[in-house]
Structure 1
Amino acid sequence: MILFIADLHLCSEEPAITAGFLRFLAGTAREAQALYILGDLFEAWIGDDDPEPLHQEIALAIKALVDSGVPCYFIHGNRDFLLGRRFARQSGMTLLPEEKVLDLYGRKMLILHGDTLCTDDHGYQAFRKKVHQPWLQWLFLALPLFIRKRVAARMRAGSKSANSTKSMAIMDVNQHAVVDALTRHRVQWMIHGHTHRPEIHTLQANGEAAFRCVLGAWHTHGSMIKVTAEDVELIPFDF
């Protein structure tokens, strides 16, 4: 089986979620052939040089999973898009591009974080385009750590304020963007996170039935998608 998770938003303020993830890595994940983390593993990421103890704890736990024989792959989310090669080496994770097609048991599946599908949220897409410019990321990461922390805190507060005035429809995926992605990659399956709306949706793409599998966020319980030769299942589970 292949497992997919996303949107854990790990932070020191939510120790129950961290504990649940550590148990998942030491238990269920060990039974998988591979684990894919589709972004927002962390609530925020201001650089691989941040000495936050939580980051080191998570790196060691993921590395233990990888060393046990279960490879771990990571696609950046909108919260941890600055996670870099240093942390990837420490954790043993393989960094993937923002869109990746997998061939799993005869099913071709497009995996991504999901924020690029929310094209109706014009303000967010403009912000995303700006912060993904390499020169701006380089400039930000060159700042002293204490300044980066202040900037990140201000940006999170601004994002929370902006989202409070947006409708849920605007912050969800755009169906045309979904179909376009499936068509571009010539696939009938998609797995993503970001929207925190766990569901397996049926739609039409490439002239036939297609499926959009949405992971849930880890709040009061975990969420994973299990892909086997027989089925694709969205599974909530207790920490």
Structure 2
Amino acid sequence: MSIKTSKDKKVYFASDQHLGAPTPEASFPREKKFVAWLDEVKKDAEVIFLLGDLFDFWFEYKTVVPKGFVRVLGKLAEIRDSGIPIYFFIGNHDLWMTDYFEKELNIPVYHSPQEFLINNKLFLIGHGDGLGPGDKGYKRMKKVFTFPFFQWLFRWLHPDLGVRLGHYMSVKNKLISGDEDAKYLGDENEWLVLYCKQKLTQTHYDYFIFGHRHLPLNIELQSNSTYINLGDWIQYFTYGKYDSTFELLTYKG
């Protein structure tokens, strides 16, 4: 997909809000802060990319979605209704998203990294979970969680039980939660860095934009190719802004 920004317009990126964690009450201030950011960037946004884990747990039954998050959903609907495109990439915590965003908010949902040509620069954009070498335990678990038969079985649980179980697993299971010390491991141990370098042997990308690591990172892979990790909205409150250059910024609002 090709995107050309209009005069004074920007492209914005954010990831890993984990709304609902560790409890809805505790995450409420973060939800309000993220909504305030959306309110601010809509003033000059050409397009907004949300790179997954907006929710700490999300599962769509046929007629039921998790309770809460009214403010952020309402703000996304308002922005989308104003004509600003929003693109959503599922993360490992909102892995079970299907068509709710597309039908209710007119927001397309992507389940894998996608290419976008933005102002003649080629971007590869995604959440980042399960990419590159390693992380084999999570990769096996993801295959189970995304297998249609197991999703069908989960839907037979009453939503009160299913959502409660999902929240518990989201926090307690480290393979799902990624609950580890978010420290930079060095290029040779960062799976997303290795993934980006491997992709560059096939196709040149000017920017790789991912989330998932909960670390704001800006790493030059080659003289004209950069890997950006957007950090999170739990500790860092970081986001990306792009027109002719890419900036990794902290929201202070």
TM bucket normalised to smaller: 0.7 to 0.9
User: Quick check: 2:32–2:71 contact (8 Å CA) kept in 1?
Assistant: no
> Which stretch shifts more, 181-190 or 161-170?
161-170
Aligned letter for 1:123? G
Whether the aligned pair in 2 keeps the contact of 1:110 and 1:185 (CA below 8 Å) is no
Deviations 1:103-132 (A, max 9, x none): 011100000101122532221121112212
In structure 2, distance between residues paired with 1:224 and 1:164 = 21
Residue 214 of structure 1 corresponds to 229
TM-fit CA distance, 1:147: 2.6
Letter in 2 for 1:2: V
Counting helix residues as a fraction of each chain, which structure ranks higher?
1
Give the Å deviation of 1:89: 2.2
Alpha-carbon distance in 1 for matches of 2:146, 2:90: 11
State how far apart, in whole Å, the 1-side matches of 2:33 and 2:119 are.
Answer: 29
Q: Give, as a single letter, the amino acid of the residue that structure 1 aligns with 2:125.
A: I
Rate the CA distance shift 1:79–1:184 in 2: closer, same or farther, 3 A: farther
2: distance between equivalents of 1:26 and 1:61? 8
User: Is contact 2:12–2:41 with CA below 8 Å preserved after alignment?
Assistant: no
Which amino acid is 2:208 matched to?
Answer: M
Q: Which residue of 1 aligns with 2:68?
A: 53
Q: Does 2:199 correspond to 1:181? A: yes
Normalised TM-score (structure 1): 0.86
Counterparts of 1:95-106 in structure 2, within 5 Å, are 95-106=109-120
Q: Structure 2: which 5+ residue stretches go unaligned?
A: 1-9
| Post-superposition CA distance 1:115-160 (Å, at most 9, x none) | 1225322211211122122222232234321231243134224424
Matches within 5 A, 1:117-156: 117=131, 119-156=133-170
- Secondary structure (helix, strand or coil) at the match of 1:63 reads helix
| Percent identity of equivalent pairs | 25
TM-score of the two chains, using structure 2 as the length reference: 0.82
Asked if the contact 1:121/1:171 (under 8 Å) is kept, the reply is no
Per the TM alignment, residue 164 of structure 1 is displaced from its structure 2 partner at its CA by 6.0
Deviation at 1:222, TM superposition (A): 2.1
Matched letter for residue 142 of structure 2:
R
1:39 is matched with which residue? 52
For residue 38 of structure 2, the aligned residue among 25, 33, 39 is 25
Q: Please say if residues 241 and 249 of structure 2, whose CA atoms lie closer than 8 Å, have aligned partners that are also in contact.
A: yes
Distance 1:81 1:37 in 2: 14
Give secondary structure in 2 for the equivalent of 1:224. strand
- Matches of 1:129 and 1:166 in 2, distance apart? 25
Q: Give the secondary-structure state (helix, strand or coil) at the position aligned to 1:116.
A: coil
Question: Could you tell me which residue of structure 1 aligns to residue 81 of structure 2?
Answer: 67
Q: How does 1:187-202 map to 2 (within 5 A)?
A: 187-202=205-220
1:58 & 1:52 partners in 2: Cα distance? 12
Contact 1:221 1:236 in 2 (8 A): yes
Q: Does 1:224 align with 2:242?
A: no
> Aligned Cα RMSD in Å?
2.6
Distance, in Å, in 2 between the alignment partners of 1:209 and 1:116 is 25
Tell me: CA distance 1:165–1:14, structure 2 relative to 1, closer, same or farther (3 Å).
closer
Instruction: Report SS of the residue matched to 1:52.
Output: coil
Q: Which residue in the other structure is 1:81 paired with?
A: 95
SS in 2 for 1:3: strand
Aligned residue pairs, count = 234
